């Protein structure tokens, strides 16, 4: 039974890693669009995009509405965008409204703390999920 479980986990990990690698051009293009929009900390923001969209592959998330970052509106519904570019522009505006004020109060804080402080990240679990994705972005994409 242990061998079967191990084989299943190994297969799941391998498929996940392969889908990430085969999706690198798409992920790189998204990172480039985030960076071109002038968004601060694009490596963190790209990791958020990966987290919220399942590596840009999810079928049952907000991605179907071009919502790359999991923004919600009243009634706990996905905010809808007409394009990925519109969503990226929205993130930029969202970040601009909050980041400078936060940075003045927390000059030594990092982006994980920013996300938690402004209510984007609802807890430490999000940070724990985001950290390996930030590392992956830094290792596998051209920054």
The verdict on pTM exceeding 0.75 is yes
Could you tell me which of 131, 42, 39 has the C-alpha nearest to residue 94? 39
Residue 22: per-residue pLDDT: 66
Both tokens of residue 106?
A: 């927390």
3-state DSSP call for residue 16? helix
Q: Comparing 3-7, 69-73, 106-110, 119-123, which segment has the lowest mean pLDDT?
A: 3-7
By CB atoms closer than 10 A (0-12, 13-18, 19+), residue 17 is: exposed
Contact status, residue 87 vs residue 33, Cβ threshold 8 Å: no
Q: What is the pLDDT of residues 85-109, one digit of tens each?
A: 999 999 999 999 999 999 999 999 9
Give a yes or no: residue 5 inside a domain.
Answer: no
3-state DSSP call for residue 68? coil
What is the rounded average pLDDT of the residues 74-80?
Answer: 92
Percent of the chain at pLDDT > 70 equals: 85
Q: Does the pLDDT of residue 16 top 60, yes or no?
A: no
Average confidence score pLDDT of the chain: 88
Could you tell me which of 106, 118, 119, 120 has the C-alpha nearest to residue 70? 120
Q: Does the pLDDT of residue 30 top 60, yes or no?
A: yes
Residue 20: per-residue pLDDT: 61
78: which DSSP letter?
E
In which domain, by residue range, is 63 found? 24-140
Could you tell me which of 121, 53, 104, 54 has the C-alpha nearest to residue 81? 53
Give a yes or no: residue 9 inside a domain.
Answer: no
Give a yes or no: residue 10 inside a domain.
Answer: no
Give a yes or no: residue 2 inside a domain.
Answer: no
Q: Give me the number of domains the chain comprises.
A: 1
For residue 72, what is the domain's CATH number? 1.10.530.10
Q: Does the pLDDT of residue 2 top 70, yes or no?
A: no
Q: What is the pLDDT of residues 45-76, one digit of tens each?
A: 999 999 999 999 999 899 999 999 999 999 88
Give a yes or no: residue 100 inside a domain.
Answer: yes
Contact status, residue 91 vs residue 83, Cβ threshold 8 Å: no
Give a yes or no: residue 16 inside a domain.
Answer: no
Give a yes or no: residue 43 inside a domain.
Answer: yes
Give a yes or no: residue 109 inside a domain.
Answer: yes
Q: Does the pLDDT of residue 15 top 80, yes or no?
A: no
């Amino acid at each position: 039974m242990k061998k079967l479980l191990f084989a299943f986990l190994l297969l799941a990990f391998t498929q996940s890693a392969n889908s990430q690698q085969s999706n690198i051009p798409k992920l790189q293009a998204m990172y480039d669009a985030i960076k071109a929009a002038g968004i601060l900390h694009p490596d963190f923001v790209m990791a958020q995009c990966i987290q919220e969209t399942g590596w840009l592959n999810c079928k049952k998330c907000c991605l179907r509405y071009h919502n790359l970052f999991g923004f919600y509106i009243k009634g706990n519904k996905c905010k809808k965008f007409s394009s990925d570019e519109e969503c990226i522009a929205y993130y930029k505006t969202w970040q601009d409204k909050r980041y400078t004020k936060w940075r003045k109060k927390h000059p030594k804080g990092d982006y994980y703390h920013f996300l938690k402080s402004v209510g984007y990240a609802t807890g430490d679990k999000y940070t724990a999920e985001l950290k390996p994705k930030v590392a992956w972005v830094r290792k596998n994409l051209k920054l």
